[in-house]
Chains A and B, each alone.
Chain A
Amino acid sequence: MKILLADSNRDFLTSFKKLLELSGHEVICAFDGTQVIQKLHEQNSDIVILENDIPRIAGKIIISQLNSSDIPVISILSSKINSDILLSDTLSNAYISLPFFPSELEELVTQVTDKKKKGQKTVYEDIEIDEASFRLCDKLRVTNEEINVIKALIDKEDINSRKSWPYISSLNNKLTKLNKKTRIRYVMQEGYRLVTDNE
């Protein structure tokens, strides 16, 4: 896989380039937003790993361009994920917060590219997830973790509410925006479940 790795910290780039290459990937590095755009024009990348606050060009602009080109992007955050990010108009395919283990990043790369490749569609009641385009009901963008949460709920699996809370909250927001009858609710003694209000 060809990975474009973009971060302003050269040590980070050196370390993770080597690690990802040891895992069999081809890695191109960029130190700032201008280089990211330049490298994207020069060669196709299968996925972009991008520092959210990369200098020179705002991360949002780059992400927006990547979304238009349908190139998946994983954003590196220096703080925890929150609803402001998840509900913004420009959304990456996945987010990972510092500090993280290399295996976490590799796992995320695999998850995102697999979803894109397989392009699975999941339908439940009045909601539909398209993994090829990372969209909810063909309209709103969702992240890798949001897709995982919805799929786990459809399969009635227990989810880690502490870790998944921001995604549960953002998914409910998006379902409300789309005027869907299905919501994620907490059911006593059972946990989080997808509940459709058919009244």
Chain B
Amino acid sequence: MNKARKKFIIYAECAIFVLLTLLLSVINVVNFTMVSEDADRITEIIASKKGTFEHDAPAEPNTNRQQFGKNKGTFEFMGPDSPELKASTRYFTFSFNEEGKAKKIAFNISAVTEEEAESWARSLINQSTGWTNVNYRYRVYEIKDKTYVTVIDQGRELLPSYRILLISIVGGAVLLGLSLIILIFVGKKLFKPLEESDRKQKQFIANAERDFKMPLTIINANTELLEKEHGQSEQTKIINKQIRKMTALVKDLSVLSISDDKNIPVAKINISDFINRLIDHNRPKFQDKNIELTTNIEDDILLGGNEEIIRKALIELIDNSLKYSVSKANFELKRSKDRIQIRQINDTTLPNGSADQVFDRFTILSNAEGANNAGLGLSYVKDAVSAHNGRCRAKVSDGNFILQIDL
């Protein structure tokens, strides 16, 4: 249950991270796009005035106040169409003829010298429009066989955008941190009933080991006593048969109880040896059922794990193959990058698709044989693999049931 809670927190935090990143990215991208569009409007206006405001008539007195009153302070008024544009725009424009000779059209900027500005404009001749040197927006246009380059300083206009970006990053990080704290707190509350239910289930299973087994033993004993005193009857035969069934089921219950206690004893296991042994031991059973058994086991693969749990899991795997193979079964063990991979492949009549539900408790796939089978074997395999930080997957593909374990 701890693992489930951690998974919940990780997934929820990732979802928040993705949504937050998306939202803040959209805000910042839209913001920068609007600043770029405003800058393009200004360079477009300058281009329409042949690269300079110097031929414009001065603005009427109090235009500012009148415009404000007229437009009631709209964004349009505050933007590139403002009558203050001429005064507030820091820019330069150079023209270049076909021989490449430069002519200064306008120079209203302090950050660079005229020579630097000319060289800068020359470097942009073959472009069209864009940002240059971080804060400067430029436009290149043609007027009567001459190429004009206008560069405007948008540093002050960009400053709020940079602030928004910084606030987005810092604010986003703070929000993520806060959300993590909240998730940890909420996770505890949310999972408490589930953890309690899980604990009760484990307790039930542990108690069932005693609480079911002893009555079964006593019923057994008394049935035998009845038979000894009154002879065997149809009823005692039925009781015995049902007791045997229940005994098998109760024994299966014990496979539900792999502890998720991190203190399971571990040792270095030669898993190649383990699997070879088990397959060899079960080979006659496969032959009896006319199942062609093939193996591809890499030698000397060592695994750090709990011997008893691994052994039981491998037995369940082989049992599963023995029960459900039609005519062919294959076992593979190999190293794959930094993991150990075990594959069990057998032919099947099941339809193609994912078969991960085989790892669910009490699940037997519909057209599989398996009388008197509680459907717990592969759930044990999954629990055993999880206890060793591994992963199980199953699928059906082209008439083959493929079970893969990565450890």
Contacts and interface: CB of A to CB of B under 8 A. Distances in A.
A165 interface: yes
Contacts of A188: 276-277, 280
B333 to A, nearest CB: 15
Given A98-B209, A98-B210, A98-B216, 15 more contacts: A9-B214, A12-B214, A15-B222, A19-B221, A19-B224, A19-B228, A22-B228, A78-B210, A78-B213, A78-B214, A99-B212, A99-B243, A101-B224, A161-B281, A186-B277
Contact of B281 (A18, A19, A169, A191): A191
Given A12-B214, A15-B221, A82-B308, A189 B254 contact: no
Contact of B217 (A100, A161, A186): A100
Interface of A: 9, 11-12, 15-16, 18-19, 22, 78-80, 82-83, 98-103, 161-162, 165, 169, 186, 188-189, 191
Contacts of B250: 99
Contact of B273 (A11, A18, A22, A186): A186
B87 to A, nearest CB: 90
A102 B213 contact: no
A71 B225 CA distance: 28
Contacts of B277: 161, 186, 188
A99 B209 contact: no
B228 A9 contact: no
Contacts of B280: 186, 188-189, 191
Nearest to B221: A15
A80 B251 CA distance: 9
A162 B277 CA distance: 11
A9 B214 CA distance: 8
Contacts, number: 65
A19 B308 contact: no
Nearest to A166: B308
B391 interface: no
A99 B315 contact: no
A102 B220 contact: yes
B311 A165 contact: yes
B214 A19 contact: no
B225 A15 contact: yes
Contact of A11 (B218, B276, B307): B218
A82 B265 CA distance: 13
Interface residues of B, number: 27
Nearest to A191: B281
B28 interface: no
Contacts of B217: 12, 98-100
Contacts of A189: 280
Contact of A19 (B225, B254, B276): B225
A31 to B, nearest CB: 14
A99 B254 contact: no
B298 to A, nearest CB: 16
Interface string B250-273: 100010000000000000000001
B218 A12 contact: yes
Interface in B193-247: 209-210, 212-214, 216-218, 220-222, 224-225, 228, 243, 247
B125 to A, nearest CB: 81
Nearest to A9: B214
A186 B216 CA distance: 36
A149 B202 CA distance: 34
B244 to A, nearest CB: 9
11 contacts: A12-B214, A12-B217, A12-B218, A19-B224, A98-B210, A98-B213, A99-B216, A99-B217, A100-B217, A186-B273, A189-B280
Contact of A79 (B209, B220, B276): B209
Contact of B221 (A78, A83, A102): A102
Given A22-B228, A78-B210, A102-B224, A83 B315 contact: no
B220 A101 contact: yes
Contacts of B311: 165
Contacts of A103: 224
B368 to A, nearest CB: 22
B220 A169 contact: no
B240 to A, nearest CB: 9
Given A15-B225, A169-B307, A188-B280, A80 B220 contact: no
Contacts of B273: 186
Given A22-B228, A165-B311, A189-B280, A16 B213 contact: no
Nearest to A80: B254
Nearest to A103: B224
A88 B254 CA distance: 22
**Of listed B209, B212, B315, residue having the most chain A CB within 10 A:** B209
Nearest to B319: A162
Interface in B270-324: 273, 276-277, 280-281, 307-308, 311, 315
Given A82-B308, A189-B280, A99 B225 contact: no
A99 B246 CA distance: 10
A15 B218 contact: yes
